[in-house]
Amino acid sequence: MEIKKSSWHYKIVDAFSEYSPPDNLCNYFWRLVGSIVLSLIVGAILLGILFCMTVAIIYRMDALMQVGLVIWTGIALLLLFSILDKIKARRTPSLLSTYWKAFKGKYCPKITFKD
């Protein structure tokens, strides 16, 4: 299996690991899962802080500013959904589907990383 170094999962594994990425799919997959869980924990903490700050700011805002905040949130969600649609439109087998086939077949394919 070939994994591009520009892929989102390679960047996550590389960002949260001090070591080079593993050369087989099984270890790579579980390191990715651990990296995602760690990033979700960090993200939840940051979102909690942001929520507390937002609540404090909203109490001091007038109605027009609150409408603007809702509009900007809607724009951010639309951008997120458009990115998710682009991800779903890809034609190559995903990392998860390849891992699932390997798990069911009880083997771990080797990974090569390309630029």
Distance of alpha carbon 21 from alpha carbon 32, whole angstroms? 10
- How many other β-carbons are positioned within 10 Å of the β-carbon of residue 24? 14
pLDDT band at 91 (very low <50, low <70, confident <90, very high): low
pLDDT, tens only, 14-65: 888 788 888 889 999 999 999 899 889 988 998 888 888 788 777 777 777 7
Q: Coil, helix or strand for 112? A: strand
Residues contacting 35, CB < 8 A, separation 6+: 12, 13, 15, 16, 17
Whether 24 and 110 have beta carbons less than 8 Å apart is answered as yes
